[in-house]
Amino acid sequence: MTEQKPGNVQVQRMENTALENNCTAVLSIADTVRTTLGPKGLDKLLVDELGNRFITNDGATIMLSIKTIHPVAKLVVEIADRQEAKAGDGTTTAVILAAEMIKEGKRLIADMGIHPTLIVRGIELGIQRSIELFKQMAVKINMKDARLAQVISTAAGSRMDGNQVVSLVSEALNILKNPKGKKGMVNLKKSIFLINKPGLEDMVFDGIVIQRQLFDQQIPDRLDNVKAILLKMDLKEIKESWIKEMRNYDEIVRMKESQTKMTKEISDSICMTGADIVFITSAHTDDLLLSNLLEKNILLIHVSNEELLNIANALDIQVARRKEDMGKISMGTLKSVCYDEESGLLFFENHAQRKMVTIIIGGVTKVTSQERWRAVKDGISAAQSALNDGIVAGGGAAELCISEKLKEENLNGGVDSIGIEVVAHALSSIMRQILTNAGFNGFEKMTEIRNKSGEYGIDISTGKEEDMFEAGVIDSAGIKINALKSAAEIVKAVLRIDRILIASSPHNAVVGNPVNETDPKI
């Protein structure tokens, strides 16, 4: 028996302490969102420094609201943010997968003495194989497939006012089913515009809605068959501060004359297009230009850059960036323009082409309206991902099936088998957590369907095995794949960390004793 040196024992303890510390940080973050997973997941009440309250079970919202100083915990939050930005949903799944892999990896490193690089290599192979299996299981669908509504229901049905949220998204998709003159995949994130307006009734409008207060009494409440152009140019008037900087009167006169001439040229160019409405991003407009357009019954509406792009996408027209462009670009036609003075909303109804739908999300309070808005957003993201990457059985059924396949393929063992087992364990934890949140013993229920195909899961209402596709519990394969990739990224980073050091700069962190470059012995 070999005697271990005291120095080696101390190093080993430091490494285990760092791993234990990092694992605890990740698990504490994951435990915050675990109970939100699944149809019977619970909500969280978030309160910020100003006393503002938010009720939500949206994983991304919860994660991004967490205040933490632990560096690894911050990594988890960043991964959650990345998953939300890329896939729009699946944040809770990504965090739970990461936590389970880190917990299992820590056990192998600390208790069994297996080197982290061996585990990480196996995890990489396990992730790669899992993604391949997800893609093989995925069933392609299109906008007319009835299962698309079930995907939305799985993603948003358990949220606040879930049935109403699912109905809103489904109605918007029905409008976009047969867009005229449009080929290829529909980009739902560009085609569906969301407005959060507490106090109003929910509405799905076939067109564009903009929040804007108009104070000109001459503007009619409704216009029909409206022609519109889009401008992105500076139309500011001369500021008084600029005039004060002029050295003499002649300079002021020349500047004003030049401004007046340019304004007239722009207004004449707009009038020559035959447009009834001009959408413009310039925050301020020259009074003379505004007056000239009103005389010609041309309505000028200020919009944000995002709104301008949405309108351009809906009307399938280009944006004029120079005066010379106005004669070259085509105009868009709107079936009608209506203004609701009470709500401050402008409704632009689509004409021949259906390329933009607006969902107005109401609510009794600002808090509930925000949560319903997040649920609608998740439903849209899930639908888009399902159209892009296909669908798989929900309720953790697909993950459990892949977990069992990884174990079967890994029977021969080998160096990499340990890391693959880590991935298999994490994948099975999704169904286990959903069942636990529903009040069942997850381990016990999962044994009933381990040998079933990837479509079978547990009905959380009855506790009986059921085909998830027939039950309408369907998920997007793309969101699951992205969640797995996001989780793997942080797992591989955390398991390889053996020390936590305080460095003066992240680019020159020093391990061990610092070297003194001025030491004459060197």
The pLDDT value given to residue 402: 93
- Helices 477-495 and 397-409 sit at what angle, rounded to 10 degrees? 60
- Between CA 321 and CA 332 the distance in angstroms is 16
Token pair 């930005």 in the structure block, residue = 85
Q: Residues 314, 208: contact at Cβ < 8 Å?
A: yes
Among the ranges given (56-65, 121-130, 245-254, 504-513), the one the predictor scored with the smallest mean pLDDT: 504-513
pLDDT, one tens digit per residue, over 144-180 is 899 999 999 998 887 878 889 999 999 999 888 765 5
- Between CA 89 and CA 93 the distance in angstroms is 9
List domains and CATH numbers for the chain.
Answer: 6-139+390-495 (1.10.560.10), 143-206+357-387 (3.30.260.10), 207-353 (3.50.7.10)
* CA 318 to the chain's CA centroid: 27
Q: Residues 379, 173: contact at Cβ < 8 Å?
A: no
Q: Does pLDDT of 332 surpass 50? A: yes
Q: Does pLDDT of 88 surpass 70? A: yes
* CA 405 to the chain's CA centroid: 31
Q: Residues 192, 357: contact at Cβ < 8 Å?
A: yes
pLDDT, one tens digit per residue, over 97-133 is 999 999 999 999 888 888 999 999 999 999 999 999 9
* CA dist list (Å): 292 to 258, 260, 297: 17, 11, 9
Question: Amino acid identity, residue 400?
Answer: L
* CA dist list (Å): 383 to 87, 92, 172, 364, 440: 11, 18, 11, 27, 29
- Between CA 361 and CA 372 the distance in angstroms is 7
Which pTM does this prediction carry?
0.79
Residue 493 CB-density burial (10 A; 0-12 exposed, 13-18 middle, 19+ buried): middle
Q: What is the 3-state secondary structure (H, E, C) of 41-65?
A: CCCEEEECCCCCEEEECCHHHHHHH
- Between CA 25 and CA 22 the distance in angstroms is 5
- Between CA 491 and CA 313 the distance in angstroms is 40
